[in-house]
Amino acid sequence: MTDSIQLNDHERTWTNLNVTYVALRRARELELARFGLSVPQAGVLYFLKTSKEPLTPMKLSRIMSRKPHTLSALINRMEANGLVKTTRDLKRKNWLRVSLTKKGDEAFKRQWSEKATMNVTSCLSKREEDELNAICKKLHGKAAELIRDLQPTPYGETLF
């Protein structure tokens, strides 16, 4: 016989949020697979398309809450597939700028026109949608705070 786990309200809410996220993420993965894209690739295409300024891999990694080396590897694969291109910044030679190629722009438009999973909130009233957006903003802020607190320092423990 297994012991049942008693969850408090916070744990139940977290579990509910996580189960919902996993289901939504899987639906999005299935939707994007029809276009030969992954969720992170679609994210890169979206942020490059909507950014008002040229983006560096570091800026993209911050926006997407990804580790810089993970995002650099993703950008390299996307560049090999012809979706993005990287160029050296003319003023800061050690900076790379990432931009969409024509193929990347077309891939973005194809997947964006589908938007089946992005319309999942159509089952909510306007008030519920506004409340959800406010809650998400608050949770994102708390998650960013937790990441700062939990992320190891780049140099480990101090020597003294």
pLDDT band at 27 (very low <50, low <70, confident <90, very high): very high
Mean pLDDT, the chain, whole residue set = 89
pLDDT digits (tens, 9 = 90+) for 115-133: 777 789 999 999 999 999 9
Its pTM stands at: 0.79
**Sign of the Cα pseudo-torsion (21, 23, 27, 33, in order):** positive
pLDDT band at 154 (very low <50, low <70, confident <90, very high): low
pLDDT at 157: 61
CATH class in words for 9-114: mainly alpha
How far is the C-alpha of 25 from the C-alpha of 43, rounded, in Å?
12
